[in-house]
Structure formats: C-alpha cells, structure tokens
Amino acid sequence: MSEKAGKSVSEDRVLIFDTTLRDGEQSPGCSMNLSEKLSLARQLEKLGVDIIEAGFPIASVGDLESVKAISHAVREPVICALSRTSVGDVEHALEAILPAARPRIHVFIATSDIHLEHKLRMSREQVVEEVDRAVRQARQYVDDVEFSAEDATRSDWDYLVEVFDVAMSAGASTLNVPDTVGYTTPTEYNELISFLKQNVRLSEQAIFSLHCHNDLGLAVANSLAAIRAGARQVECTVNGIGERAGNTAMEEVVMALKTRPDTFQGVDTGIRTEEIWPTSRMLSSITGVSVQPNKAIVGENAFAHEAGIHQDGVLKNSLTYEIMTPKSIGRASNELVLGKHSGRHAFRERLDELGLSVTGDEFERAFRRFKDLADAKKTIFNEDLEVIVADSVLTTEERFSVGDISITSGTFGKPSATVEMQIDGEALKQTSLGVGPVDALFRAIAELTDTKSELIRYQVHAVTAGLDALGEVSVTVDEDGRRVIGHGAHEDVLVASAKAYVHAINKLEWHKGRRGRDEPRGI
C-alpha cells in the first residue's frame, strides 16, 4: 500500500484522473464557461472520480478563475492544475489550487528528441535541469506533485528513465507516461510501462499514470494494456472528448475493468457506474456535442437490439447478447414518466432517478419549463426532462436573451423574421429578410447583437419520437479563430434555433471578456 492522491491506494485499485475540464475542453467547440465547469465538476465528484484536472491556470485569467472556483466548491476529489516547468506557470497553478482541500500540481515538459529539437530547442541536459527545478518548486508548495513526460511514447526509453529518476528525487509521487499524439500500440505501451517500473529508481513509491490520445483509435486499448503492466492511474475524459480524435473514454475503461475482472487481475475503480449515463448526458448538454449513436457504453444504440435473433435471445435471457445492463450505467428506460398533472414532488423524484438533481431557483425554472412543455405535448419522456434541466440550469452568463419571435415563410414571398431581444437589459426589436426562415431569423439576431461570427454548422434533431417531439438545435459559430457550440431546445424548432444561436453568441462574448494570455496547449 502507498499513500497517493491523498488516500491509500492498493494494487487492485486504478485511480481515475478526469481531464474533461482541461484536455477535453480543448476539443474544438467544447469550451465551457464558469457555471458550466462548476456544474460538471460537481457531477464528476458525484461520479466518484479520484482526481479532477480543473484547468491550465497560466492559459488565461478565465482558466485561473475557473480552477480556483472549482477548488473552493468541490471538496472530495483531488483538484489538479496543469503547469509547464516555468516558474510563472507553477506559481499560477499554486494560486489556482490553493483553496482546494486536496491540491495537486501537475508539471510537464516534452522529452522526445523531435520536441526538444523543434519545439523546445533545448538539450536533454537542459530538460533534466528544468524537471528537477520545477518539481522541487511545486513540491515546496504541495505534497502531491505529478510529473508528465510529454510525447513519452516517442522518447528514448533510457532517457525517460533518467528524467523520471530526477522527478522522483525532486519529490514527484505520480509519473505520467503520455501517448501525446496517439502513436503507440497496446503491446508497445505495455512493454514501455513494464520497462519503466523495472528501471526507474524509487518506482515502488510512484504511481505510474497513462494519458492516451485516440489518433489511431487505440486510446482505450492502450490504456488497458498499460493497466495490465501495472499502471494505476488513467487520465481520461467523459465521452472521450479532447483534441483531434479525442482522449481515452473514461466510461469505456471503467466498464471494461468492471466487466472483465478475469482479464485485468481483479483491478477496479472507485467510479459509481450508475452516474456514467447522467454525466455523459450532462456533458453533451453543456457542449451541444452529441455522442455518436454506436458509441460504446453511452451511445443511444449501445443497448439496442434490432436483429430478430438478438431480440429473441435477450427476451429469453439478457446475458445472451448483453454483457452489461443499461441500469448498471444509470440509464433509465424511455417509458412515459410524467404528464401535465404531475406536481413538484413527482417531478423532483423523477429528476433524482435520472441523476438530474437540482435545487432552489434552478429547480423552479426547470419545473416551470416542464409545466409549459406538458401543456404543449401529449407525453413527456426522460430525454425531454434531460433537455429541460440542461435548458434551465446549465445557462451561460448572458448579455443577450431571446424574447418573442415572429416568422413568415413560404412560397408567396421572401421569408422574414421579427425578433425581440434583451441586450444589456434593454429591449430591442429587429426585422430581417432571408433566403429561408432560419436565415432570416439568424440575420435579425446578428443585426441586434452586432456579432461578426460565422455560422459553421447547424444541426436539428428530435429528442423523442412523435409530431410533438421537443426539437433540439446545435449551432457552431466561429469568430477570430474561436469556435463555440450553442445549444437550444423548444417544442418550436425555430425558437430552439434562436436560443441555440444566441447561446453561442453569449459564449463568444464570455470568451472575449476573459481573454488574458495566449493559451498554451498541454500534454
């Protein structure tokens, strides 16, 4: 047994290091504002993750403030801040995680020759000196220091041993071996972790960590191979979001370990698996990025059986074609749950069952939205409730809000849209023409908000079946290289479109307000 991450960790326990709020947010369009990050951080705590990497404080004033706010609000998991080896980076990381009950500073620098030559322009000896100085600096401030060798899987193995020896001597307790560009394979990664465990001095005092990217579709396979070699921390994200092709999907690793203890020597995590589905849905609602239907564990079709022979087998015994159950990840059935005569108590109970607990003003907003929808729809489904909560609770700090909308469209004349909005507390109205109703609507909103953003993508889908289905709209907009996704839901798809577009514009405004420094990328 060894003391790591502020608690006793045995050889049969794998720590879950969730980097959705840091590496995941670097996925194009997946940036989150402060209230969204806090909501997700609280859900990650409920999920049972061991470590939350809350951000990269040196990246911007907004990132520093977000990490600090999460450090105040979330008390059970370790709260981690990423830092390069520079003195200023470490100081900003310390400032951000100082309020945390269990703080960690995560220091990294590249170790592959290609990074040393072309990015850092440093010698191997200079990098070793940087590692020693930075880890010692961080260790002066906190007991829990992690060191990452960026691009480790393309680094010389003997040099990695040298670097990790120095990091351990300087006070690191977790050694991360990132596959930064998704280059390695399961066999190779397993051998690398085994080599490091055998050759790094003081390795028995370290937790070896893995951080895999999915460029070749091998992130989860590589992570599981490293666990078999003795790694005991997985750096991952909800839904596998992240830069390029994404990161290791948290839910896939967790359920693989739980479902196949025979293959993984009985190792397990502390994740409350029944919170996986609610967490996945919350992230999708915040970012507006839906999970692909056939995505393992959390895709809409993950437990669907259409082939007759499969249906027959499942009806006779679910074990014939299901290796896990929807209930095991917290996924409820699609049955009718509530109607217009349902009261607050029934509404609250159903939200609790779905892992969507809200309180105070947030609950009242969600309940009012539910009653409005119940008057307009014949039936209310679980998916409707998830959208209602997302629409009512996970809101952006808004400069702009949509009021009434009137749209005229058809073949008799050019489509037009009249939009009323509240802008900085002032009520304004605009009428615009367009080539279609959505174009006219967005032109009117653009005129009112004076946005210079470009619409990149517009997506609509029905949340449930039926002509009265709730419409959910996602829009992707870009301004000066900043790409964000807006999300809106309403029984009228044009109203949902307006809400989604304004949500995106509000996100852009929020980012304009938090600009501080150039944003460096992490491991």
pLDDT in tens, 278-298: 999 889 878 878 888 899 999
Q: Which residue has the higher pLDDT, 366 or 449?
A: 449
Q: Which residue has the higher pLDDT, 50 or 323?
A: 50
Question: What does the pLDDT read at residue 5?
Answer: 47
Q: Which residue has the higher pLDDT, 371 or 209?
A: 209
3-state SS, 230-256, equals: CCCEEEEEHHHCCCCCCECEHHHHHHH
State both tokens at 69.
């706010």
At residue 502 the predicted structure's pLDDT band, cuts being 50, 70 and 90, is very high
Cut 0.85: pTM above it: no
* Of 369, 349, 368, nearest in space to 470 by CA: 369
Question: What does the pLDDT read at residue 167?
Answer: 98
Question: What does the pLDDT read at residue 519?
Answer: 54
Query: Region 94-123: what's the mean pLDDT?
Result: 97
Burial 215-249 (b: 16+ CB within 10 A, else e): beebbbbbbbbbbbbbbbbbbbbbbbbbbeebbbb
At residue 32 the predicted structure's pLDDT band, cuts being 50, 70 and 90, is confident
Out of 100-104, 374-378, 462-466, least confident range? 462-466
pLDDT in tens, 211-263: 999 999 999 999 999 999 999 999 999 999 999 999 999 999 999 999 999 99
DSSP 154: G
Query: Region 479-502: what's the mean pLDDT?
Result: 88
Query: Is pLDDT at 317 greater than 60 in this prediction?
Result: no
Which 3 state secondary structure label does DSSP give 75? coil
Q: Which residue has the higher pLDDT, 467 or 99?
A: 99
Query: Is pLDDT at 505 greater than 80 in this prediction?
Result: yes
Query: Region 199-216: what's the mean pLDDT?
Result: 97
Mean predicted lDDT score pLDDT of the chain: 88
Query: Is pLDDT at 355 greater than 90 in this prediction?
Result: no
Question: What does the pLDDT read at residue 348?
Answer: 84
Q: Are 223 and 260 in contact (CB under 8 A)?
A: no
Work out the burial of residue 181: count CB atoms within 10 Å of its CB; fewer than 13 is exposed, 13-18 middle, 19 or more buried. Answer: middle
Query: Is pLDDT at 352 greater than 90 in this prediction?
Result: no
Query: Is pLDDT at 84 greater than 80 in this prediction?
Result: yes
Q: Which residue type occupies 115? A: H
pLDDT in tens, 411-434: 888 999 999 999 988 999 999 999
Q: What angle do CA 26, 29, 35 make, to 5 degrees?
A: 80
* % of the chain residues with pLDDT over 70: 88
Question: What does the pLDDT read at residue 378?
Answer: 67
User: Strand 233-236 relative to strand 207-212: parallel, antiparallel, unpaired?
Assistant: parallel
Q: Which residue has the higher pLDDT, 427 or 359?
A: 427
Distance CA 447, CA 232 (A): 54
Q: Of all helices (H) and strands (E), which one includes residue 495?
A: helix 493-514
Query: What are the strands, taking DSSP E only, across 59-128?
Result: 78-84, 103-110
Question: What does the pLDDT read at residue 370?
Answer: 84
Q: Are 386 and 281 in contact (CB under 8 A)?
A: yes
Q: Which residue has the higher pLDDT, 6 or 437?
A: 437
Query: Is pLDDT at 517 greater than 80 in this prediction?
Result: no
In sequence order, what DSSP letters do the residues of 18-64 get, joined into one string? E-TTTTGGGSTB----HHHHHHHHHHHHHHT-SEEEEE-GGG-HHHH
Query: Is pLDDT at 392 greater than 90 in this prediction?
Result: no
Q: Are 66 and 34 in contact (CB under 8 A)?
A: yes
Highest mean pLDDT among 20-29, 159-168, 393-402: 159-168
Question: What does the pLDDT read at residue 16?
Answer: 98
Question: What does the pLDDT read at residue 7?
Answer: 42
pLDDT in tens, 159-182: 999 999 999 999 999 999 999 999
Out of 4-18, 124-138, 315-329, 373-387, least confident range? 315-329
Q: Are 270 and 317 in contact (CB under 8 A)?
A: no
Out of 68-72, 174-178, 246-250, 320-324, least confident range? 320-324
State both tokens at 41.
């951080």
Question: What does the pLDDT read at residue 2?
Answer: 40
Out of 40-49, 87-96, 141-150, 501-510, least confident range? 501-510
Query: Is pLDDT at 342 greater than 60 in this prediction?
Result: yes
